[in-house]
């Protein structure tokens, strides 16, 4: 099968044939139809978190596909099932990770990878879905949608009328915005460098838009919050200055949620005094998503016309164009890039 392989950090992905290993207990072979690209892959390619000890390896952790074969012990899915591939653990076996072969050499992989025509996936990284759901849309439920909505529903526990500021309105950030809109939060402030992404945030429910880097940004946001700070301030950028700004703009009774991936050498310094009055700061782990519970709920919301999914996709590429997709993501102007495997 064809796969995009990370051979070296800060280098292009290499598209080549790899051999599929026999299925071990708890593994399934999935024909990948579509994959998204998110910040985790950009982090791995760039080495943002430091040296990668697993090179060469496959990439991708949100996808939509069809089960072709199941290994010993698998009960959650069967051949022919349409599935979402996700990185958060669901129910089922947590299998060993597969090892592929390329010209006789080992190519590593995690419990789920999606930048390939097929993938060997751990049972607990698959959730079956109705065949009526388009698989390009389904792929977004593997990370962008579930993480963004989970930040609102699980990490922030945002209530109607509470305020939120969202720093970074790409794939995850847009879903934070629309999650906030679903619970009737107000105001919903969206902050991004790119006007095109801010306009997208307006479509998803942002009530106020702010361009990052402009003079007086912090004062304008604080004024919008009524001078007290926001009930929730969410950073999806991983940028040190923005993480600091999000904390500084959180109300004493509010919550700062850090979802963006920082550089391995970046640290922030906070004034801990507000923590004594109830302010909290947490790092989000996939929005604390429970895939078996949340993915069916979000599909139902989409079917009812209450959750935007198709509108998240701003760019489409084929597998052989994946390095172009990576460059598009680096530009910062994409909300979600989708890779079609055929």
DSSP 265-314: T-------GGGGGT-EEEE-SGGG--HHHHHHHHHHHHHTT-S--GGGEE
Q: How confident is the model at residue 119 (pLDDT cuts 50, 70, 90)?
A: very high
What element of type H or E holds 65? strand 63-70
Average pLDDT over residues 12-35: 98
Q: How confident is the model at residue 83 (pLDDT cuts 50, 70, 90)?
A: very high
59 pLDDT higher than 90: yes
Least confident of 55-64, 267-276, 305-314: 267-276
Average pLDDT over residues 282-304: 97
pTM of the predicted model as reported, rounded to 2 decimal places: 0.96
- Domains belonging to the chain, first-starting first, are 2-142+309-340 (3.90.180.10), 148-288 (3.40.50.720)
Quick one: what percent of the chain has pLDDT higher than 90? 92
- CA–CA separation, 193 and 200 (whole Å): 13
In this predicted model, what pLDDT tens digit does every residue of 120-175 receive, in sequence order?
999 999 999 999 999 999 999 999 999 999 999 999 999 999 999 999 999 999 99
Q: How confident is the model at residue 48 (pLDDT cuts 50, 70, 90)?
A: confident
Average pLDDT, the chain: 96
- CA–CA separation, 241 and 262 (whole Å): 11
Q: How confident is the model at residue 261 (pLDDT cuts 50, 70, 90)?
A: confident
Question: Residue 122 corresponds to which tokens in the numbers above?
Answer: 């751990």
How far, CA to CA in Å, does 318 sit from each of 10, 19, 221, 315, 326?
Answer: 21, 21, 40, 11, 12
In this predicted model, what pLDDT tens digit does every residue of 159-216 receive, in sequence order?
999 999 999 999 999 999 999 999 999 999 999 999 999 999 999 999 999 999 899 9
* Whether 105 contacts 17, CB under 8 Å: no
Least confident of 85-89, 151-155, 262-266, 279-283: 262-266
In this predicted structure, what is the pLDDT of residue 127? 98
Q: How confident is the model at residue 332 (pLDDT cuts 50, 70, 90)?
A: confident
């Amino acid at each position: 099968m064809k796969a995009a392989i990370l051979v070296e950090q800060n280098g292009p992905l290499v598209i080549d044939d790899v051999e599929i290993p026999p299925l071990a207990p708890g593994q399934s072979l999935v024909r990948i139809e579509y994959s998204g690209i998110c910040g985790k892959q950009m982090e791995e390619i760039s080495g943002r978190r430091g040296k990668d000890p697993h090179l060469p390896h496959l990439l991708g952790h949100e996808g939509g596909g069809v089960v072709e074969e199941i290994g010993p012990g698998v009960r959650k899915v069967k051949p022919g099932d349409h599935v979402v591939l996700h990185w958060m653990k669901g129910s089922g076996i947590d299998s060993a990770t597969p090892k592929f072969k390329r010209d006789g050499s080992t190519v590593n992989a995690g419990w789920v990878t999606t930048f390939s025509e097929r993938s060997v996936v751990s049972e607990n990284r698959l959730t079956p879905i109705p065949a009526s759901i388009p698989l390009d849309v389904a792929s977004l439920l593997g990370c962008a949608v579930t993480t963004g909505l989970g930040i609102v529903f699980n990490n922030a526990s945002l209530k109607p009328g509470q305020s939120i500021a969202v720093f970074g309105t790409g794939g995850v950030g847009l879903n934070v915005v629309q999650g906030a809109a679903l619970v009737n939060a107000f105001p919903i402030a969206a902050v991004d460098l790119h006007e095109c992404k801010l306009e997208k945030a307006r479509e998803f429910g942002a009530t106020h838009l702010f361009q990052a880097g402009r003079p007086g940004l912090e004062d304008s946001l604080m004024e919008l919050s009524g001078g007290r700070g926001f009930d929730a301030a969410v950073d999806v950028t991983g940028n040190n200055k923005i993480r600091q700004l999000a904390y500084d703009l959180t109300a004493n009774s509010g919550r700062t949620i850090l979802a963006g991936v920082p550089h391995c050498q970046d640290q922030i310094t906070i004034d801990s005094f507000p923590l004594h009055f109830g302010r909290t700061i947490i790092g989000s782990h996939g929005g604390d998503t429970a895939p078996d519970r949340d993915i069916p709920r979000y599909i139902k919301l989409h079917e009812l016309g209450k959750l935007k999914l198709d509108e998240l996709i701003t760019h489409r590429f084929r597998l052989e164009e994946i390095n172009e997709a990576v460059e598009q993501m680096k530009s910062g102007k994409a909300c979600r890039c989708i890779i079609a495997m055929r």
